[in-house]
Structure 1
């Protein structure tokens, strides 16, 4: 049985330049899984109208083609929890990359709508595995001083992948070749597959399997400081003493059920903002505004660019302003943007000025999502789960995300055809207003408070909105500081 040597005194030194470079390269390569995710989300948007013309299928069949990927992703995410523990994070990423390449090639070669649905399902399995495994791997290999940046990089890679897919679709739209639109993403997928073979195994997973000496070797390459390596090995060993109770804790503890329920609700809120409606059906939306095919594709690319740029707003403000204020602003902006788009479609869009104004309001909606619910929901879902049930809680959130995503993708065109363009956008605008109330009554403010404190308050049975930061925290901190001054005096 392997044992862990006592950790030397903690060192504050940064890793040696060579080790720092190795660590950053490793993290960037792993974060490219987010790029694959974004490519898969974005690529179907521009291809769907050409698929519909080629196969002569209904809107309902297009909804199935779009949403089959999300069904596969939900199943992939469920399987990834077991795979990442049994096979390891690296092997799970390899399997995800293989499925991604195979699914992309099959999409490009699809001989029928049913074959395309099956190929999209395979792609979904790949994405489900990647969305669970890549952030987990990044959190376990990234040095402490860049961990937050590297995990944020994964989220940024998703938005970049969507943008690249939109640009690729725009280029191929001049020939209308949807097979190349769907198949070309196999190229970056193959490059990612090759790169994953050069990734080290996760030190935490190696220690879970009793392979401590290998974990030390990997951390030495990534950290370059013996004191830091021994301290981190000791920390991992201590963390592994806390078993993941998961399902048992869910059945036995009502407070844990509340945190899992909050994570599920947050993911439902994120998906029913209507963001993925735009991601999957942007050209159709721009067609309803009166634009021709090439203008539809270029405006879709602008949507992707706006999504990338607005994500930096969240990265820059989340630890300054807090989670809830940004969510409030985001939901208001999204409701306003979609409400105006619906109104413009109701009154009729005539003339270039009205067209551009409607596009601007849709882009305003994109900004609202990318700066708030997009990245912050994932942050909150990880922060509100107690340590003993964190894997289970985040797993429930991830599966909920994909199931809700599938529902949105499979119903949008039906809504357009059933209740009309204006009413559909008004519906999503109304949902965003409802989410403001959910945020006020149920969502805690987690900025500047430790995960241990959040867990303690949750298990004490406090209201969900009160398990995070509050004005009382500031008063307590001030009282503690005053007491220390008096005592020192």
Structure 2
């Protein structure tokens, strides 16, 4: 008797369509809803940059406690990234995305209600769990529902909304900077979190995940190529080397020192809090504009050229910042520093920012895709935690110029790594990418 003939057992469902077979309307809806996770990712990492200026006064925070409030989200994000891979494989991408949206909502409510340093840190940890889960599963889901010719653009849509989230957080900070109402700054984030929670209840499951599950069901157990691959597998190992290296470079290249601390850096240069936030808004606009510019280039110019251009621009801008910050503050040095920061953010946004997340979703074989993407995200958030926690204390100890020179050295080394190790993946199926990694 076959499994299909067994009494009381339903016949297996037909295989789902391959990625890209979804009607355009459903593909657009799913992309829009899931990419709200990217917007919340950006909002929750960016909103603290302005809120911190007022939190430290209300709660009497030391420099170390300021870093802890920043890095609590990053620590939670590392845990969320690590913990989202296996559930995404076992229960499906959609269910994990629903849990992520719910966690965003809970964390934002807790941040609004925080009454001291400890409760704010706890709220930021919860938000970090959601951010880490979103950073892993959102690009993964988008890569799996997209046809090859659109995969780069759809995954980049997540990065666009991430930068929009950062910009929105800066604008919200600016709107409430006069009153110093940091609770209202966090409360605005509840709007997209509730929309994401409702929307994820209506989107389809990833066709790739359904296909693997159907393969297991038809075989009465793990089917060939449907089960998990060990992380020591050749293709998985090579993908990990690329993904983990780029994950570390994203953070040790200094991007979140600018995102988190732009107002603090400008404030230390003698600017009032409101003016400092205005500068960060300008940086946020550049971040969004250059990420939008990357959308057609991702699938036209390719991943490698954008990475090379991006890292070269980052290294030059960071070196300029290092030189500028070594001179006394003044109108001319402040302007050069601002221009260097804008050039740096633009260089990052057009290349390394979106391309890392695309490669993390593209490079791994199906049997290790969720776990591999989760490990890359874990390294990204762990490095983010180190930078977020240590930037201000190290800048105080050795001078901010030395920190930027270190970031410039990291970007320069990454340039060499990309030339030697990173393959081009544009317009290629996920299966073709695996063949190259195994060659």
- Structure-2-length-normalised TM-score: 0.88
2:327 is the alignment partner of 1:323: no
Q: Retained in 2: the 8 A contact 1:244–1:391?
A: no
Aligned to 1:224: none
Map 1:112-261 → 2, pairs under 5 A: 112-142=116-146, 146-206=150-210, 241-246=224-229, 249-251=230-232, 253=233, 256-261=236-241
- Superposed, 1:27-38 pairs within 5 Å as 27-38=31-42
Where 2:75 maps in the other structure, the secondary structure is: helix
Q: Aligned pair 1:311/2:291, yes or no? A: yes
How many Å separate the matches in 1 of 2:274 and 2:348? 26
1:335: Cα distance to partner? Answer: 1.7
CA distance in 2, matches of 1:265, 1:179: 37
- Which residue in 2 is equivalent to 1:477? none
Q: How many pairs were matched up? A: 426
2-structure distance, mates of 1:413, 1:423 = 12
The alpha carbon displacement at 1:5 in A equals 5.8
Cα offset for 1:156?
0.9
In 2 relative to 1, CA 91–373 (structure 1 residues): closer, same or farther, beyond 3 Å?
same
CA distance in 1, matches of 2:421, 2:138: 29
User: CA RMSD for the aligned pairs?
Assistant: 3.0
Q: Is the 8 A contact 2:253 2:410 kept in 1?
A: yes
Confirm or deny that 1:276 pairs with 2:288. Answer: no
Alignment of 1:391-402 (within 5 A): 391-402=370-381
Separation in structure 2 between the aligned mates of residue 140 and residue 423 of structure 1, nearest angstrom: 42
CA contact (8 A) 1:328 1:439 kept: yes
Aligned residue in 2 for 1:80: 84
Deviation at 1:389, TM superposition (A): 3.0
Is the 8 Å Cα contact of residues 88 and 370 (structure 2) preserved in structure 1?
Answer: no
Match of 1:41 in 2: 45
Indicate the larger mover: 369-378 or 141-150.
141-150
Deviation at 1:60, TM superposition (A): 0.9
Q: Is there any run of 5+ residues in structure 2 with no aligned partner, and where?
A: 5-10
Distance 1:141 1:445 in 2: 20
Partner residue, 2:420: 441
2:324 to 344, 347, 351: 344
Identify the residue that residue 403 of structure 1 maps to in structure 2: 382
For the 8 Å contact 2:46–2:170, the answer to whether it is kept is yes
Q: Deviations over 1:133-174 (max 9, x none)?
A: 223333444567755433221121111111101100111111
- 1:148 and 1:250 map into 2 onto residues whose CA distance is 25
CA distance in 2, matches of 1:308, 1:94: 26
Partner Cα distance (1:28, 1:41) in 2: 20
Runs of 5+ consecutive residues of structure 1 not aligned to the other structure: 213-233, 461-489
Q: CA deviation at 1:302?
A: 1.0
Residues of 1 paired with 2:16 and 2:196: CA distance?
36
CA displacement at 1:408 relative to structure 2: 1.1
Higher Cα radius of gyration: 1
Are 2:365 and 1:382 equivalent residues in the alignment? no
2:16, 2:59 → 1: CA distance?
A: 64
Q: Taking structure 1 as reference, are residues 5 and 383 closer, same or farther at Cα in structure 2, changes over 3 Å only? A: closer
Counterpart of 1:264? Answer: 244
Secondary structure of the equivalent of 1:250? coil
Please list the CA deviations of residues 369-423 of structure 1 after superposition, one character each: whole Å capped at 9, or x if unmatched: 0111111122233343344433332221111111111111111001111111222
Give distance in 2, aligned partners of 1:6 and 1:314. 35
- In structure 2, the partner of 1:65 is 69
Cα shift readout 1:262-287 (whole Å, capped 9, x = no counterpart) = 22111111111100111111101112
Picking from 345, 366, 369, the partner of 1:366 is: 345
* d(CA) in 1 for partners of 2:168, 2:362: 31
Structure 1 position 365, deviation (Å)? 0.5
How far residue 456 of structure 1 moved from its aligned partner, in angstroms, is: 3.2
Distance (whole Å) between structure 2 residues aligned to residue 445 and residue 204 of structure 1: 22
Corresponding residue number in structure 1 for 2:7: none
Cα shift readout 1:87-139 (whole Å, capped 9, x = no counterpart): 33332222211211111111121121111111100011112222222233334
